[in-house]
Amino acid sequence: MIRTLLLPAILLSVLASVGSVSAASVEPSCCAPQPAPCCETPCIKYRDHHRRCSKICCSCEPPVKTILVVEKPCTSCAYEVPVCLPACCTGAPQVCSRAGIFGRKIVEYQWCCGFRVKMVFTHCGDLIVHSYY
């Protein structure tokens, strides 16, 4: 009985001293940490809201494609949402998060040029992106 308990301990100490195998690599795979569950990508819908006779930028530069990161409620999964910004919207936006009607989470980005992006998570987990000019 003593021989069967000491033999694995001796083998581990010899292998660890040689440096070829560590004690962590000898552990069975059932004890390894399991990866976090994948976050399902939401369906993204875009809606543009333009005010008549209202121009944000006076230049003729094309819009700038950028990615905004928003966190989904209840799961803490972060998603990259591609949006197009007017060329004059520079700098970091002000970010405001609140609860909306029907328990929806709303995250709003607003730039100093007047451009706003409002992201609304529906109860199904989908995302509606509203752009206000």
The answer to whether residues 19 and 51 belong to one domain is no
Chain-centre distance for alpha carbon 107: 13
As a whole number of angstroms, the distance between CA 37 and CA 44 comes to: 21
d(CA 66, CA 86): 10
How many domains does the chain contain in total?
A: 2
Q: Report whether pLDDT(9) > 60.
A: no
Query: Do 72 and 99 lie in a common domain?
Result: yes
pLDDT of 31-81, one tens digit each? 544 444 567 778 999 998 876 545 556 667 888 899 998 887 677 788 899
* pTM beyond 0.85, yes or no: no
Q: Which two tokens stand for residue 18?
A: 């040689």
The residue segments making up the domain with residue 52 are: 44-132
Beta-carbon-side half-sphere exposure of residue 130 (alpha carbons within 13 Å): 12
Same domain, 27 and 50: no
Residues 18 and 65 placed together within one structural domain of the fold? no
Vertex 97: Cα angle to 84 and 75 (nearest 5): 95
Give yes or no: residues 68 and 19 share one domain. Answer: no
